[in-house]
Structure 1
Amino acid sequence: MACCWFTTFLASLLVVVYTSTCACAISTTPFSSTQIKFWSENVQNKMPTPILKKLSPLTQNDCDLYTNNNVKFSADSRFCSMAKLSCGSAVLESSLRPDHALAAAYSNAYGQVISSNIQLALDQKNADPFSFFRINSTLKINGNPVHIPNLKDSLPGRAFLPPQIASKIPLNIKDITRLFPAGAATKQTIEKTLYYCNAAAIKGEVKSCPKSLEEMIDFSKSALGGNRLISLTSKSTQGSNTQLTINNLKKFNADKIVACHEAFLPFAAYFCHSLPSTSLYSVDLVEPKTGAPVNTLVAICHMDTSAWPENHVAFKILKLRPGQGEACHWFTQLDLAWILHTE
């Protein structure tokens, strides 16, 4: 009886076509426990709290019913709520701000046009002038105060989908808007993300748009050529839009780095890439007058910008041309840098 009730309940959340009978053994274990286990098996340090909040609230049985019974998936508003997704018209075009770290990740497509009707929202005239910086002018211990840009979350909260479901979602606008309710503004933001995801890689770049936590970890392992991952991110959003002083600086000894930046799809998703000649830093920031600790941020510096498009906003801010110098930017607490554990 309970089994049949559950099948009826799930049918109200998904558009389904069942060809097999209901199995009576139901697992109510949250899939988040599987995601935590996968992380612990592949990553040497603990999962950051902002990522913990993105774990799936679905149960393993929800996933099994979909994957094992070949369910035709379509997310209605009730399923979006249950899975902690962002569907409908809740996302505004301003979600992908020009000063967001995502702009740096999208260097290979920056300033181009997605279609005849949609111009990239990363408008240079509105870009935060502190989004990008140079090493020698900024990363100095006890130097002049550093203006920190806005590091606060700009995208709506969304959970990761279990990989059994995420793997069945193609990265194209037709299928995603067919599977997930989307208003006009949401659709345009999704289309921008997909444009970046599907754009050709620049010289030396390895890139991917993981649709699940597991895909992100697997891509990082493949791109780095090893299994013992370390995940790095900024501690918090404290100090956003203020001037702080650096009192400690650590450069990571990493031959390869994978940078993953939060991107917008109805579910939690990332734009990940690895570029050659990249340096990674951990930066302790304090109040200039009192020396009180404020935050620890991750900074990434792309040392070779020769393959970047000339109209990349970093060149306008830094007053450089491609290949004339490095471009650095800060990570938010939802961006992740991956390196290999070397000890």
Structure 2
Amino acid sequence: MFAPASLTMDDDIAMTLQLCEHPHMVHGEKSGCATSIESFLELVVSSLGTNDVRALSPRAPMEGVPSVRYTVASATPVTNSQSALVCHDMTYPYKVFFCHTATPIRAYQLSLVSNDVGQPSIDALAVCHLNTSHWEPNHPFFQIMHVKPGETTACHFLGRGSIIWVPTVKEAAQ
């Protein structure tokens, strides 16, 4: 139906199809792909169990982030809930988002300040998986960190093109 612009794009499209049709999720995760606004909203509401939600996305520069060191100036939880739906913009001829949930998690909004003079600060989002005990022992995170499943929390940044959906928590009347 369409001709990919390059072999890399062809591989990325094949990966999108594989991920959407046969996701390999960690124990307890749910996933799905959204290919329209309607399916996107349906996936968000069904995954979080409420239509009272808010969306956040990283405010990273449109061009590549300079390869410099950054210091975390602040980290603020985005919700009191330990559930979230994280959606990633996938390579495809039209808009497709791969979304997945994991609980328990903590999501943070961070301000990163460059250690190099003249470099801009970055507003970022990070997700921390609080329970890694059901992850595969050969997961790359464990290899890099030299730990075993369940020994630590696994945190990672969300890239540009990702959206995190969280339930809006109502504050008690005072």
Band the TM-score falls in, shorter-chain normalisation:
0.7 to 0.9
CA distance in 2, matches of 1:335, 1:329: 12
Note if contact 2:68-2:115 (Cα within 8 Å) is conserved in structure 1: no
Q: Which has the greater radius of gyration?
A: 1
CA distance in 1, matches of 2:129, 2:43: 20
Q: 1:315 aligns with which of 128, 131, 142?
A: 142
Structure with greater proportional helix content: 1
Q: 1:249 aligns with which of 61, 75, 81?
A: 75
Q: 1:218 aligns with which of 36, 42, 67?
A: 42
CA distance in 2, matches of 1:334, 1:313: 23
Q: 1:283 aligns with which of 110, 121, 125?
A: 110
Q: 2:155 aligns with which of 328, 335, 339?
A: 328
CA distance in 2, matches of 1:319, 1:232: 32
Aligned to 2:98: 271
Note if contact 1:239-1:294 (Cα within 8 Å) is conserved in structure 2: no
Do structure 1's residue 193 and structure 2's residue 16 form an aligned pair?
yes
The verdict on how the C-alpha distance between 1:211 and 1:295 changes in structure 2, with shifts beyond 3 A counting, is: same
Q: 1:340 aligns with which of 153, 158, 167?
A: 167
Secondary structure (helix, strand or coil) at the match of 1:306 reads coil
Aligned to 1:89: 4
Note if contact 2:132-2:149 (Cα within 8 Å) is conserved in structure 1: yes
CA distance in 2, matches of 1:206, 1:193: 17
The verdict on how the C-alpha distance between 1:341 and 1:258 changes in structure 2, with shifts beyond 3 A counting, is: same
CA distance in 1, matches of 2:97, 2:66: 22
Deviation at 1:212, TM superposition (A): 1.8
Secondary structure (helix, strand or coil) at the match of 1:219 reads helix
Aligned to 1:204: 28
Higher relative contact order (CA 8 A, sep 6+): 2
What is the 5 A alignment of 1:1-343? 75=1, 87-93=2-8, 186=10, 188-197=11-20, 198-199=22-23, 201-237=25-61, 239-252=65-78, 253-288=80-115, 294-343=121-170
CA distance in 2, matches of 1:90, 1:292: 34
**Deviations, residues 72-101 of structure 1 (Å, cap 9, x unaligned):** xxx5xxxxxxxxxxx4131433x6xxxxxx
The verdict on how the C-alpha distance between 1:318 and 1:228 changes in structure 2, with shifts beyond 3 A counting, is: same
The verdict on how the C-alpha distance between 1:337 and 1:239 changes in structure 2, with shifts beyond 3 A counting, is: same
Task: Tell me the TM-score normalised to structure 1 length.
Answer: 0.44
CA distance in 1, matches of 2:86, 2:166: 9
**Deviations, residues 149-190 of structure 1 (Å, cap 9, x unaligned):** xxxxxxxxxxxxxxxxxxxxxxxxxxxxxxxxxxxxx1x433
Aligned to 1:173: none
**Deviations, residues 19-71 of structure 1 (Å, cap 9, x unaligned):** xxxxxxxxxxxxxxxxxxxxxxxxxxxxxxxxxxxxxxxxxxxxxxxxxxxxx
The verdict on how the C-alpha distance between 1:233 and 1:310 changes in structure 2, with shifts beyond 3 A counting, is: same
Deviation at 1:227, TM superposition (A): 0.8
Letter in 2 for 1:193: T
- Structure 1 gaps of 5+ residues are 1-74, 76-86, 96-185
Note if contact 1:260-1:271 (Cα within 8 Å) is conserved in structure 2: yes
**Deviations, residues 100-135 of structure 1 (Å, cap 9, x unaligned):** xxxxxxxxxxxxxxxxxxxxxxxxxxxxxxxxxxxx
CA distance in 1, matches of 2:7, 2:67: 22
Aligned to 1:80: none
Structure with greater proportional strand content: 2
* Percent identity over paired residues: 27
- Structure 2 gaps of 5+ residues are none
Task: Tell me the TM-score normalised to structure 2 length.
Answer: 0.83
Deviation at 1:267, TM superposition (A): 1.4
Deviation at 1:201, TM superposition (A): 3.8
